Amino acid sequence: MYMKFIFVVIDVLAIVTLYLTYKASKRITKSYGWWLGTTLFVGVIAIFTNILLALSVSPQFADVAFCLYFSAIDWVLYFLVGFCLDYTEHRRALDILKYPAAVIIGLDTLSILLNPVFGHAFTVYSITDSSGVVFYQTGFLLPYYIHLAIDYISVAVAFFFIIFRIVRSYSFYRVKYVIILSVLLLVVLLNVAYMMFSLPLDASVIFYAIAGTLIYFSIQTFVPQSLMTSSIGRVVDDMNEGLILFDIQDNCIYANAFARKRFDIDPDNFDLTCEPLAGIIRSLNKKGLSSGKETYCRADGDEKSHYIMRYNLLNDTKNRRIGSYFLIEDNTEQVHYLDEISAARDAANEASSAKSTFLAHMSHEIRTPLNSVIGMNEMILRTTDDPALREYAENIKISGETLLGLISDILDFSKIEARKVDVVLSGYAPHDLLRDMLIHFEQMADAKDLYIRTTCDEEIPSMLSCDRRLLAQIMTNIISNAVKYTKEGGISINMSGKTSADDTYDLTVSVSDTGLGIAKDDIPYLFDAFKRVNEKENASIQGTGLGLAITHELVTLLGGTIDVVSEVGKGSTFTVVIPQKIVDAKSSGPFVKHVPTTKDEYRESFRAPDAHILVVDDSSMNLKVVKALLRKTQIAIDTADGGMQAVELCRENKYDLIFLDHRMPDPDGIATFHMIRSGGMNTGVPVIMLTANVVSGAEEEYIRIGFAGYLSKPIRGRDLEDTVRQYLPAEKII
């Protein structure tokens, strides 16, 4: 009796276990989750019927219990086989077999359930053990063997498909199929044992709970972990990085394929005392580090391989050391790439240096003669009272200033590219600017028999604030292009604008011509540096193609916009809009094309008859200009046309100030400066660099060398006087 009680208790526990596993199986979202869940549910029914067998009190009751039990086993095997096919990815076979198999199992179940009526499948008889407890068992007839054949054929089908999948799958996927095969084999063996040994109670059904639980945890935990472990090993071996693991005794326990191949590592004979790892650790220890990264270079014949090696300690969850590891990254390509970048940077620096040298030479060669032109013209303005001559000289002055601005920015185009153009805001009269443009271009237009017409809004404020030089260059470039590309007709210049918020006035300058015009497809390329549109048609027109590129950059720098409307054969219109602050809101009134010139009598800003200065320049004309510009200051001026003559004069005379030209025949200005500073009577005298070099960074470089100041050519009289006054001893200035 105790045996039956224990059997029932175990069956109840098996039911609870199967039910809990069934509930947990709902979390398996794949398609085979349904098959597994149904198998477990039917397994619960099978165990319940097994309890009925144990509690049977008559042959009739036992007959019904056996019918229910054998039928439940039929469907347990049906759903278990379905799960096996689905889990081993034989879904096509499952779709083909599931309906015919369900019909066969259904007929077999019907046959078993009719046994209490016909007694055709099995008979029920009782046995009594030594303690007097009655057990019921079955005697098998032919239909029952058909029932068994159906069950074992089902199991054989499952075996076939599982074994087929094991043979055809990759090695690290086989574990999940082997587990299912083992569980299925366990169920069959227990069932066979029950029949072979004619056991009083079928204990094999109890193992359905164990089998179901094993299947569930295999799917959810064991198989994923096994696959992950196997996959990680394969992935780590396929990595393009090295990994070496060490235990707490610093013995190598793993090295992936990359590490083994690159460093000839045999894990069985490798530890942290082997190179290159030992050298990396020593290098880290010298820096006071127990872990970190170091670079390593390995020579393989003529080839060099570069690596970044990272050494780290491995700790458990309680921060106790359990080992260490090395990560090795091949950065050979990166090193070569950086070397190429470095070489390209050096080449770019050399090209930039060559460009700067070229610009400095060009600046010197162009600005030096221009210095004589502007300087001598200033002397004419200072000395003549003839109105016509003064008008000519004023025109020369305006043209010279415009030319100087153009040369400065064209020769220093790199400054514009680098956005290093200094914007100097100052008040100016828009009408005066427009008048200067007319004076500058009237002669050029007359030479081509072109007209220049101007219209100007009378309501334009009389004074605006902008960088007048940059604004003049913008207008000069646009008007110059209009004159160059117009053969007949002329140019119309319109100046207008409107007031916006915060005392800002949007000045609009529009330049229209009746020239060649620009094709629609060429307009997007107008502002590209060194790019000329219609190259073949415009081959006879002089120019570098820089003008509009500079114009676009300068307009952008001043916060404005430039637009182009053009039609081939009919001309073009360039419109520039530049926002500016209003200095004087009073209207300018009607535009006057020509204003009579009045003599602006020059007066020296100071006199210094006791001062003594030295001017050094290899151009005799430049020496004459400086002496002429300073004549009325009564300063005593010595001149030298070369560096050696200047050094001799400095040994013989004590000067208050020295002007020193940069680009002279050997020695140049800088070498001469160092010789003057090395000894003599003028080691502490301020030396001003007098140069035509105005490229970006030149002034800063001269100051760094030790020059007191910097004065660019062409020299303006007022700038020259201001510089002299700044550096002369105060007691010598009257």
What is the band of 659 on the pLDDT scale with cuts at 50, 70, 90? Answer: very high
If you search the block for the tokens 């209003």, which residue do you land on? 582
Pairing of strands 490-500, 451-456: parallel
Highest mean pLDDT among 228-242, 393-407, 554-568: 554-568
Q: Are 110 and 63 in contact (CB under 8 A)?
A: no
* Longest alpha-carbon distance in the chain: 155
Which domains, from first to last, does the chain contain? 2-232 (1.20.1070.10), 240-330 (3.30.450.20), 423-587 (3.30.565.10), 612-732 (3.40.50.2300)
Q: How far apart are CA 619 and CA 663, in angstroms?
A: 10
- What confidence score (pLDDT) does residue 337 get? 85
The CB-side HSE value for 694 (13 A sphere, CA atoms) comes to: 23
Closest of 463, 483, 475 to residue 554, by C-alpha = 475
What is the band of 112 on the pLDDT scale with cuts at 50, 70, 90? Answer: very high
Tens digits of per-residue pLDDT, 663-681? 888 898 899 999 999 888 8
Pairing of strands 571-587, 636-640: unpaired
In sequence order, the 6+-apart residues with CB closer than 8 A to the CB of 690 are 615, 616, 617, 659, 660, 661, 662, 669, 711, 713, 715
- What confidence score (pLDDT) does residue 21 get? 64
Q: What is the mean pLDDT of residues 584-591?
A: 88
Q: How far apart are CA 694 and CA 714, in angstroms?
A: 11
DSSP 8-class letter at 715: P
**H/E element holding 677?**
helix 669-678
Amino acid in position 646: A
If you search the block for the tokens 């003057």, which residue do you land on? 676
Q: How far apart are CA 724 and CA 245, in angstroms?
A: 77
Tokens representing 317 are 């969850």
Pairing of strands 122-128, 252-255: unpaired
Q: Are 479 and 512 in contact (CB under 8 A)?
A: no
Tens digits of per-residue pLDDT, 52-93? 877 888 889 989 988 998 898 889 889 888 888 888 888 899
DSSP 8-class letter at 251: B
3-state helix, strand, coil in the chain (%, to 5): 55, 20, 25
Tokens representing 449 are 């028999």
Closest of 409, 417, 536, 523 to residue 477, by C-alpha = 409
Q: What is the mean pLDDT of residues 162-174?
A: 74
- What confidence score (pLDDT) does residue 341 get? 86
Report if pTM > 0.95.
no
Q: What is the mean pLDDT of residues 692-714?
A: 78
Polymer length of the chain: 734
